[in-house]
Structure 1
Amino acid sequence: MEFRLPELAEGIDSGTVAEVLVSPGMTVKAGDEVLKIETDKATIPVTISTDGTVDSIVAKVGSKVSTGDVVFTYHAAGSAPQKPTSAPTPTASAKPAPAAPVAPAAAPAAPAQPTSKTVEFAVPELGDGISSAKVSRVNVEVGASFQAKSSLMEVETDKANISVEAPANGKVQEVRVKAGDTVEIGSVVFVLVLESAGAPVAAAPAPAAPPKPAPVAPVAAAPAPTAAPAPASAATNGVAVKHPAHLPIPAGPATRRLAREMGIELAQVKGTGRGGRITIDDLKAFVKTKMQQAKAAPAPAAAGPVAQPPLPDFAKYGTIEKQTVSKIRQTIAKNMTNTWSICPMVTQFDKVDITDLEAGRKRVVESQPKGAAKITMTVLAVKAVVAALKAFPHFNSSFDMNSNELILKKYFHVGIAVDTDRGLVVPVIRDADHKSIHDIAVEVQQLAEKARSNQLTIDQMRGGTFTITNLGGVGGTAFTPIVNWPEVAILGMARSYMEPVWRNGAFEPRLMLPLCLTYDHRVIDGADGARFTAKLNSILSDPIRLLMES
């Protein structure tokens, strides 16, 4: 049987073999990782779906493979091994052939024993869009033994610290990084000697039946395999290609999306992938060729934010100090600049009478046992926001300018901005509409503690549909929060204060909570913004309504 490279991910149809985790004679089980493929974004593990024993390896480390290419051959558990494709097949007249099975006759009775192999361990995929990380700690040294899933090192990404774990039991042969180094996804950081599952002691596979002449069909299979097509030259791109009008142009979703963004008509691009499939590399080659053809023309201005001009020499005016900006602060700056440049934002202000709600909240907090999760105004705001989002679904959406579509989300994942000594992070409360106030209080407390101790995972900070940021504990009467793109709205809460309010023919002191709602004006109009804050006002000013709406 032939193990062929499966589809890796949307828009990825080829890659480079970074690591082969199996060897001839090794037993594999369904779900085992058999190799790792390095793409332009990440290193992707590839698993096998059936049990069996490896016969021969076809793809080598460093070779480029496409979806459908043969990586290795194997035979299923209980079946006879497959002949290696590179070895010549004996003809029917070859008499000495039956002598080969004599030696391994007792092989099936031999017990399995552990085997080991030396591998280069590369930085695995850390998350979508993460291409590099900074090594914050190396947990092993040369000669150290480790267990599967134990932490080999810790790396710091834009938003979180991530532990890089060992794939199996083994020993460290070489360490190629140190704390403070910046490593790319797929770069080799360790050389490890890994213990793998037991394999039969006998090197040669034992036949399942008495010796028989070799089958006639494989006789003609002596030439090298032709399953893997020779890659077509990318130089053919840049020349208009005529695709059959009655057939769709073969290209993956990511390729089509990039073509739309770059303004390329796929009908003009020659595909070099399997079956004429157009790849991202084909688009790049097409653009490169076009640019070479038009190199006499002036280069177009770069899209996006205006580049910052160089700063003056401040040292001329006095003593200065230069500090390295942390990775997370760089990411915050990049994201804020990106949002500000593509998202026309408006901030709307309102204030809510929370006198009754705050009194009820305090009574609940005082009645809770010591150590219980505290019900804060942020927790109550999560429930109020979910109710408002259900009433105004376009606040729970994202706007795709490339396709001119509004993506309405049917789930309610509310992000909570948390201030840490490293910068602002936004963990996400998932499915907030299905959780009680107590459940949300517990989760908010746990996520805030993880954020401040730098223990949040990437997944805990992704997938939000709306964000709440509360500066009430710090101070201020109002502020203008920036939308957490690709969301379309964010609610800011400032410090509550006492204010005289005319009620029932007299002024009464009432506790007022300032609300600051910023939204993407491409999606949300001012009138809808006012309706949204009015909805929040009606919920937060009446504890009974809050319970009913949530």
Structure 2
Amino acid sequence: MADIKTFYLPDLGEGLPDATVVEWHVKEGDSIKLDAPLCSMETAKAVVDVPSPYTGKVTKLYGAPGDIIETGAALADFVPDPNAKQRAESQETGHHHGPKKSVGSPAPDDSQKVVASDEGGEVKTGGKDREDEGTVVGAMVSGSHVHVEQAASIGGVKAVPAVRALAKKLKVDLARVRPSGADGVVTLQDVKNAAANGSAPLPSPAGRGAGGEGAAGAQRYASPEPSSAHRAPSPEGRREEQRTAVSLAGKPVRTAPPSVQASGQPEQLKGVRRNMARVMAEAHANVVPTTLVDDADLHAWIGKQDITARLVRAIVAACKAVPALNAWFDGKNLSRTLHPHVDIGIAVDTDDGLFVPALRNADMLDGHGVRAAIKRLRTQVEDRSIPSSELSGYTISLSNFGMFAGRYATPVVVPPTVAIIGAGKLSHDVVAVMGGIEVHRRMPISLTFDHRAATGGEAARFLKALLDDMAQPH
């Protein structure tokens, strides 16, 4: 019997619990060399190429594009080439072999060993029929579950977030791309091919009609609408019924009762949004948030200035004045770590979810350095090339939501940080001054802090230091 080796999904980030299959670079039956790309996996932070742990033949792939696989679950089976040099278990590569086992725990019963099946369920096999061994990078969670889920269907197109991000970057219209993946899923290669041959370009703004529908919309209105009796069924197998504001009897349409199935389809959260849901839930459960709000008066500013750079400078000044908020707090051990440096987590909103890259050593940067660093981080976030190390380890956070809308907010403090600053939308306000009134340009500032780690007085002094720096002429 062939010597089958099972490769388990390694920890592709800092304790990430799962990852989504984006694309397989091989198929079952293919031969592969050691460290050659096996597949691309989307984590909460990036799209990562997973290298092959063996030189040999791939006998089984667990999961299809769009499937979520838990860290530590089976990813692929191999029959290593006995004539090829393989990586020795004792070789210093930073890898650990085999699924994680608890120290001092009894040996598992091989007859009850659970192995993930390619259908996403569990099949029990005897331990003598296969040897479970793989290359696991870093710490991992023990488990053997493969969750088979379809890629998200948005606008009738099935694709994982990484594919949608690539299509946006390459200006490819996903609706016009011919899918080659299982169950009609658009793959990364489909998007790359469409970009190369120009078969699915996004419509230009000039070609769009009223409402942004463009040529497709014009063609739709030029063709008669088929009757409901001849209308083709939707991909979900349901007839698309024409929606109107009144019923056939001419009465206003009422909301369907709870017993009627909703027309929308549930969408499994993946990648960045999946991680965001976990992080927000953890923060809500573990932080005692308190928010202070005030307005930064910018009336004394001279000339044109970089608002974001000024915000960063003001945060640095406040951190130096009140170090208690530039800290990490350990709620379990009731300990805190005050940081001598200032690394600011900058919240970046994307279609795939929220990223928070770290602006490192903000206390050492001038205005030009801040602007260049933020531009680099934003570009890396948009093309999903940012290293996972740049998405953690910040000492305090900034959410500049005012660039879209909103004055005050209660932004979420994510452990282990202690505070987050929210910058609202600039406004011109009537301000009372000695002898009358004036119109000043002001920026609403919200400071949310973990009250377990800092007092109200410390937070108020921090906010005052920030406002004082923002009020400086330059």
TM range (shorter): 0.5 to 0.7
Match of 1:368 in 2: none
Relative to structure 1, the CA distance from residue 449 to residue 175 in structure 2 (aligned partners, 3 Å threshold; closer, same or farther) is farther
Change (3 A) 1:460 1:153: same
Q: Does 1:333 align with 2:281?
A: no
3-state SS of paired residue (1:517): strand
Cα separation, 1, equivalents of 2:428 and 2:438: 10
Which of 329, 352, 374 is the aligned partner of 1:399? 329
Offset of residue 138 of structure 1: 1.4
Q: Distance in 2 between matches of 1:192 and 1:513?
A: 63
1:324 aligned onto 2:267: yes
CA distance in 2 between counterparts of 1:525 and 1:537 reads: 19
Q: Is the aligned partner of 1:174 residue 2:59?
A: yes
Aligned to 1:152: 38
Structure 2 unaligned regions, length at least 5: 89-102, 108-255
Contact 1:171/1:192 (8 A) holds in 2:
yes
Scaled by the length of structure 1, what TM-score is found? 0.50
The structure-2 alpha-carbon separation of the partners of 1:444 and 1:142, relative to structure 1 and needing over 3 Å to count, comes to same
Structure 1 residue 184: deviation in Å? 3.1
CA RMSD of aligned residues (A): 3.2
Report the CA distance shift for 1:344/1:232 in structure 2 as closer, same or farther (over 3 A): closer
CA separation in 1, counterparts of 2:442 and 2:59?
Answer: 62
Q: What aligned pairs does 1:66-145 form with structure 2 within 5 A after superposition?
A: 120-141=6-27
Task: State whether structure 2 residue 418 is matched by structure 1 residue 488.
Answer: yes
Question: SS of the residue aligned with 1:141?
Answer: coil
Check the 8 A contact 1:140/1:172 in 2, yes or no.
Answer: no
User: Does the alignment pair 1:343 with 2:287?
Assistant: yes
SS at match of 1:316: coil
**Using the alignment, how far apart are the partners of 2:399 and 2:257 within structure 1?**
35
**Shift of residue 459, structure 1, vs aligned partner:** 1.4
Contact 1:137 1:155 in 2 (8 A): yes
* CA radius of gyration, larger in: 1
Identity %: 29
CA distance change for structure 1 residues 197 and 542 in 2, over 3 Å: closer, same or farther?
A: same
1:399 Cα deviation from its structure 2 partner: 2.3
Corresponding residue number in structure 2 for 1:383? 313
Q: Supply the distance in 2 between the matched residues of 1:478 and 1:157 (Cα, whole angstroms).
A: 32
Q: Deviations over 1:247-304 (max 9, x none)?
A: xxxxxxxxxxxxxxxxxxxxxxxxxxxxxxxxxxxxxxxxxxxxxxxxxxxxxxxxxx
For the Cα contact (< 8 Å) 2:302–2:473, is it kept in 1?
A: no
SS in 1 for 2:425: coil
The count of residues paired between Structure 1 and Structure 2 equals: 305
1:467 matched residue in structure 2:
397
Distance in structure 2 (CA, Å) of the matches to 1:400 and 1:315: 44
Q: 1:183 aligns to what SS in structure 2?
A: strand
Q: What does residue range 234-383 of structure 1 map to in structure 2 within 5 Å?
A: 315-316=258-259, 319-327=262-270, 328-357=272-301, 359-361=303-305, 376-383=306-313
Deviation track 1:116-163 (CA, whole Å, cap 9, x = no partner) reads x99654423312222321111212335767677653321122333222
- Shift of residue 497 of structure 1? 0.4
Report if the CA contact (8 A) 1:122-1:190 is conserved.
no
**1:212-246 superposed Cα distances (whole Å, 9 cap, x missing partner):** xxxxxxxxxxxxxxxxxxx97769xxxxxxxxxxx
Name the CA distance, whole Å, in 1 between partners of 2:28 and 2:105: 44
> Does the aligned pair in 2 maintain the 1:498–1:512 contact within 8 Å?
yes
- 1:440-451 equivalent positions in 2, closer than 5 A: 440-451=370-381
Spell out, residue by residue over 1:405-461, the C-alpha distance to the aligned partner (whole angstroms, 9 max, x if none).
222223321100111111112111122222332222122112222223333332111
Q: Could you report, residue by residue, the CA deviation over 1:445-490 in whole angstroms, capped at 9, with x for unpaired residues?
A: 1222222333333211110110100112211221111112221110
Query: 1:339 and 1:526 mapped to 2: Cα distance?
Result: 20
In 1: Cα distance, 2:77 partner to 2:358 partner: 34
Letter in 2 for 1:182: I
Partner of 2:78: 191
SS at match of 2:449: strand
Are the counterparts in 2 of residues 162 and 457 from structure 1 also a CA contact under 8 Å? no
Alignment-mate amino acid for residue 296 of structure 2: V
Unpaired segments of 5 or more residues in structure 1? 1-116, 200-230, 236-312, 362-375, 545-550
